[in-house]
Amino acid sequence: MIKNDLFLKALKGETVERPPVWMMRQAGRYLPDFMKLKEKYDFFTRCQTPELATEITVMPIKQVGTDAAILFSDILVVPQAMGIEIEMKPGVGPWLPTPIRTSAQVDNIVVPNVYEELGYVYEAIKMTKQELNNEVPLIGFAGSPWTILCYLIQGQGSKNFDKAKEFCFTNPVAAHMLLQKITDTTIAYLKGKVEVGVDAVQLFDSWGGMLSPVDYQEFSWQYMQQIIDALKEQIPVIAFGKGCWFALKEMSQSGASALGVDWTCSAANARYLSGGNITLQGNFDPSRLFSPPKEIKKMVHQMINEFGKDKYIVNLGHGILPNIPVENAKAFVEAVKEYQPR
């Protein structure tokens, strides 16, 4: 039995004394101990070395005190397993020497044996579960097929992913073939994570908000739905689409256990758009963690009052920024633990 099961209770919609709290990207770049490891090992070495991934995953539990751990990894390990070369360039982020730009390239992409290609992730989960010793739940994750496609075609990060959108709109057959291959790989990958012991999974659709509501249904949501359908009987699934407030109603009917909300959508709107019955997660502006700790605590209490303490998981509206002071991240978590319902 997991000793602190607040997160799992919130995913089930159960009544809790206070909402659980964790932070997207909590295992990483704002922690001084993480930066020491970053100086010694490159990004994908950290992802691919189970001992390092375990150490990084557990850091925020010990140092910041969140109610759930999220495995240190990256959404791009999935396309790497599919035989696509991806580097993490300092100052650039994800970078593909050969972006996917033709139907022939899409034809050549394989749906791999995830146990062979991503065995290091499963080892990291087993090690992390041992290290956590049932203190808190462990979250596994994957990127949405659309978000992964964005990187594969654009070749790197972008403000508008214009090349990715151009490919989808001029070559929809190849785009859908690529999206389906990513979806099939992701389902197998996440099922493997469930087998080795994660307690919940989150789908990150970081670039879903780049699409119009109609295009979102065609190029993103239908593939997210396939993944949710494949997993929802086995494990709680959290669907998070940044900038995708327009899809909250459809998302709420998907079978997901919870929906992530970014900071551009108010608690009242998120509850209204999602029908008011599903657990919501979010939505503190990550930049607001630069505010003084006293102010952070006040804002967090206000946020909980607006969402309500039940069917709610306190989180940021996107990943924590690298230069946030650790004491401010702690203030965010402490504010939730100190929360008293009105």
What single DSSP character describes residue 247? Answer: G
120 is in an annotated binding site: no
176 is in an annotated binding site: no
In sequence order, what are the beta bridge partners of 237?
201
Backbone angles phi, psi at 235, to 5 degrees: -160, 150
Question: Both tokens of residue 188?
Answer: 């197998």
Q: How far apart are CA 328 and CA 326, in angstroms?
A: 5
Backbone angles phi, psi at 230, to 5 degrees: -75, -20
Who's near 285: CB < 8 A, 6+ residues apart? 263, 316, 317
CA atoms in the 13 A half-sphere facing the CB of 293:
10
225 is in an annotated binding site: no
206 is in an annotated binding site: yes
29 is in an annotated binding site: yes
| Cβ atoms of 241 and 144 closer than 8 Å | yes
Q: Is 182 helix (H, G, I), strand (E, B) or coil?
A: helix
Question: Both tokens of residue 265?
Answer: 């959508």
In the chain the first and final C-alpha atoms are separated, in Å, by 31
151 is in an annotated binding site: yes
Question: Both tokens of residue 233?
Answer: 């009987």
Who's near 272: CB < 8 A, 6+ residues apart? none
Alpha-carbon distances of 318 from 57, 98, 177, 297, rounded to whole Å: 18, 29, 29, 18
74 is in an annotated binding site: yes
Q: How far apart are CA 54 and CA 27, in angstroms?
A: 10
101 is in an annotated binding site: no
122 is in an annotated binding site: no
Alpha-carbon distances of 282 from 14, 100, 205, rounded to whole Å: 18, 33, 14
Backbone angles phi, psi at 313, to 5 degrees: -120, 120
Chain mean position to CA 212? 22
25 is in an annotated binding site: yes
**What residue numbers does the annotated binding site cover?**
25-29, 44, 74, 151, 206, 318
**What residue numbers does the annotated binding site for substrate cover?**
25-29, 44, 74, 151, 206, 318
